[in-house]
Amino acid sequence: MSRLVMKFGGTSVADLERIARVARLVQAEVAAGKQVAVVVSAMAGRTNELVAWTDGSGRAAQGLPESDDEYDTVVASGEQVTCGLLAMALRHIGVRARSWLGWQVPIITDEAHGRARIDDIPPEKLAAALDQGEVAVVAGFQGVTRDGRLTTLGRGGSDTSAVAIAAALDAACDIYTDVDGVYTTDPRIEERARRLARVSYEEMLEMASLGAKVLQTRSVELAMARRVPVRVLSSFVEPGEAGSAGTLVCDEEEIVEKRIVSGVAYSRDEAKITLYGLPDHPGVSARIFGQLAEANVNVDMIVQSHARGQDEANMEFTVGKRDAGRAREIVEKAKAEIGFDDFAVDENVAKVSVIGVGMRSHAGVANTMFKALADKQINIQVISTSEIKISVLIDAAYTELAVRALHAAYGLDRL
C-alpha cells in the first residue's frame, strides 16, 4: 500500500469550513487505498498574531534574542490547534485519525530556536499508526531538541516538516496551497502566465530562493537531497477540474522536453550597498564580508570593479531589506577601519531572474534577457549567474515591466 503525505497551508485551514473540506480531501485519498499522513500549518494569520503577542510581552524591550525558547512555545501553538481540529473533523466523517505534535513523532531538531533545522525523524511511531489504518495528523513548523525543548522551523517551516516526514516514511508529498501549481511567473503581474506540469528540483530551488513563494526553499533542498516527489496543488480545486493535477517537482530526467527557460521570478526584498574607493589588495573583502557573516547578514549578488584611483576598487553587493540597517552599521564601522572613500545604501531596487535547466545546453539566453530589458529602457545595475539562472538588479519601479518583457521574450506565454 502506497504512502502519501498531504500538507495544507494556512489559507487551506483558515476556518472550520475549510478544515472540513480538507478532511474530505484526505478521506478521498484514504478511500483510494493510500496510507496518509497530513501536515498542517496554523490557521491563516494566526502565527502573525502569536508573534505579535510575544513582542507585546516585552520580549524586544527586555533584549531577549530571536532564539528565545519560550518564543517557540508560544508561536508553535497555532499548529497544535489546527491538527486537533482536523483530526476531529476526520473522525466526524468516519476516518480513523489522531493528532501528533512535533515532540510526539518526534521531529528532532537542533537548538536554533525560531529557525531550527531538522536532524532526524525516527519513522517507527508514524509508520505503525499508518499500518494500522490510522491517518496521522501532524503539526507542522515545530520540532523538539534532543533534551526535550520545543522548537520552530522558521517561516514556511510546515513545507519542510512535510517533506522531511515524507522522506522518513518513503512517501510522496502533496503540498496544498491557494494556487493550483507552479507558474511561469506571478499571474498577478502577467495574466498570460502558464502553469507548469513539471519542474525540476533545481529549477524549483532557484525559483524559491529568487522570490517565488510557492514552496519554502529548505523544503525544496530536502526534497532534492532525498529525492522526494512533490506535487503542488490547490485545496480549492475539485478533483478532475482543470488544474487539479497541479505541478510535479521531480528529477530533471523525468522531464522529457527541456525548456530553455521555465520561469521568471522577482524579489523586491533587496537592498544594494555600494562601497567606493576600496583599497584593492588581498584581505579587504574577507574583512568586510566576515563581519557581515558574523552578524548573520546574508549577502547575495557581489560585483567588484576598478575605481579611478590607482589600487582602488568599487564594490556592490545586495542584502535583504530587513538586513540593510545592520549592514549599514557594519559598513560604517569598516569604513573607519579599512579607510575606503564612501558608501551608499539603495533600497529602491529589485531582483529579476530567469530560470531554466535548458540554459546548460543553449547559447544566447543572456543576450535575449539583456535585449528585452534594453528594449524597455530598463537599466541593469548588477548581474549574477549560475548554471541555470541569470539574475539582474534593476530599479524597483520597473519590476513588473521587466517581468512581463522577459516572460514574452522567452515565449513563456505560449507554453
What's the CA gap between 377 and 381, in Å, rounded?
13
Q: What are the backbone angles phi and psi of residue 22, rounded to the nearest 5°? A: -60, -40
The fold of 264-414 is VC0802-like (3.30.2130)
Least confident residue range of 137-141, 239-243, 302-306, 379-383: 239-243
Domain boundaries, the chain: 3-255, 264-414
Please tell me the pTM assigned to this model.
0.84
Q: Which CATH architecture has domain 3-255?
A: 3-Layer(aba) Sandwich (3.40)
Q: Encode pLDDT of 273-283 as tens digits.
A: 999 998 888 88
Q: Per the structure block, which three cell numbers stand in for 358?
A: 535548458
Q: Encode pLDDT of 209-253 as tens digits.
A: 887 778 888 999 999 999 999 999 998 887 767 667 899 999 988
Does 404 have pLDDT greater than 50?
A: yes
Q: Per the structure block, which three cell numbers stand in for 361?
A: 545546453
| Mean pLDDT score of the chain | 91
Q: What do you get for the CA distance between the two ends of the chain, in Å?
A: 36
Q: Which residues contact 319 (CB under 8 A, 6 or more apart)?
A: 270, 271, 273, 292, 297, 298, 299, 300, 327
Does 4 have pLDDT greater than 70?
A: yes
Is residue 103 very low, low, confident or very high in pLDDT (cuts 50, 70, 90)? very high
- Helix axes of 157-169 and 124-131: crossing angle, nearest 10 degrees: 70
